Amino acid sequence: MKKINKILLLALLSCTTVLVAQDTLKNAKSLNLPFEHYGISFGNSYRFTGIRLNFADENVEEINGINFTFWFKFARNMESVVNGINIGIIPTGGTSRGVNIGLFGVGDAHDLYGLNISGVVNGASGVMKGLFEAVS
């Protein structure tokens, strides 16, 4: 029984070394499990479906699922599309569709759709459709 556990552990560890996706041209340095574009992502994945945990979004193209972002680089993320749940101190991007929750604010360069809750302000340069609540 112990031999089978060791073999399974070795197989799992050997697979995870292949799962690191780094594309320096797009500045996407992340660890994505179990696949490059699907599952759970730790880091700056620029295109991902699933749960994504990142410190600061940069050069994001499209996120589908749940996006947790601590900080923002708005000028470097103005063309991003987030479909799903976007949570952070100030979740920003190009277009957000779904539920957006920001400690201080929620903002997009283009459009903002869905349920948006923030501590201070919700805003977008384009269309805003949905339910917006700024608790200040």
Q: Can you give the residue range of the structural domain that contains 111?
A: 2-134
Residue 43 contacts residue 24 (beta carbons within 8 Å): no
pTM score, two decimals?
0.76
Residue 52 contacts residue 68 (beta carbons within 8 Å): yes
Q: How many CA atoms lie within 13 A of 64 on its CB side?
A: 5
Using alpha carbons, select from 34, 10, 61, 118 the residue that is nearest to residue 44: 61
CA distance 18 to 55: 23
The DSSP bridge partners found for residue 40 are: 33, 51
What is the per-residue pLDDT across 71-98, written as a single tens digit (0 to 9) for each? 877 778 889 999 999 999 989 889 999 9
Residue 50 contacts residue 34 (beta carbons within 8 Å): no
Q: Chain centroid to CA 117: how far? A: 17
- Whether the per-residue pLDDT at 12 is higher than 70: the answer is no
Number of domains in the chain: 1
Q: pLDDT value at position 131? A: 93
CA distance 18 to 83: 27
What is the per-residue pLDDT across 20-57, written as a single tens digit (0 to 9) for each? 444 444 446 889 999 889 999 999 999 999 999 999 88
SS3 52: strand
Residue 57 contacts residue 69 (beta carbons within 8 Å): yes
